[in-house]
Amino acid sequence: MFTDKTNIRKMKSLVVGAIILLMACNNNDSKDAVEKADSANKAKADTTKNEESKATISVNKTDADFLVKAMEGSLMEVELGHLAKQKSQNKRVQHFGDMMVEDHGAAGEKIKSLGSSLNVTLPHMTGDEKSKDIRDLNEKKSTNFDKAYIDDMVDDHKKDIKEFESASNNVENADIRAFIMATLPVLRRHLDSCTAIQKSIK
């Protein structure tokens, strides 16, 4: 039995790593989850020629593509947040991981709700590229994990903010736009937080 806290933490980290690897390897088809979602949405868009089709998507391609990408981003942030909580020895990094799990988990639920109401197919897991990024971070030792994770968070949130700002001017659906406007302040707060942590990590 594990009684030492360090051993318990290591065991938890191994379990989390195993789950991530299982999820990443659980797709045996040639397309990853994001590509499958994009293909499904394209097929639904093609059914708009049939007015009686119940499979008709309710938004245009730009709106659907945004939801797919936002869902994948939230999934990745939550998975990495769990990793940060398990692998990091830094309290600030652990707390940041907690915030990612909570905030991006909530965002993911809102995206699911939008996808359901608009008949947009969403990925249930990250695509191949982001799954590889998660595996790479999971393989890092705790001493190297913090800097790599926080550096990634700074870069990711800078990209996310630009993408959300661009989408706010391009999406047509009012509910999606409302989600974007409500989420942007959260993303900016995340960026401020991880940038401050980045400056403290040598």
Report the SS3 class of residue 201: coil
The string of pLDDT tens digits covering residues 71-127 is 999 999 999 999 999 999 999 999 999 999 999 999 999 999 999 999 898 999 888
The residue with tokens 């994770």 is: 149
> Is the pLDDT at 25 greater than 90, yes or no?
no
Q: Which residue segments constitute the domains of the chain, with CATH numbers given? A: 5-200 (1.20.1260.10)
DSSP string, 99-138: HHHHHHHHHHHHHHHHHHHHT----SS--HHHHHHHHHHH
Residue pair 115/121 in contact (Cβ under 8 Å)? The answer is yes
Residue 115: the pLDDT is 92
> Is the pLDDT at 1 greater than 70, yes or no?
no
Please tell me the pTM assigned to this model.
0.75
Cβ neighbours of 119 (radius 10 Å): 15
Identity of the amino acid at 173? N
Residues 24-35, mean pLDDT to the nearest whole number: 58
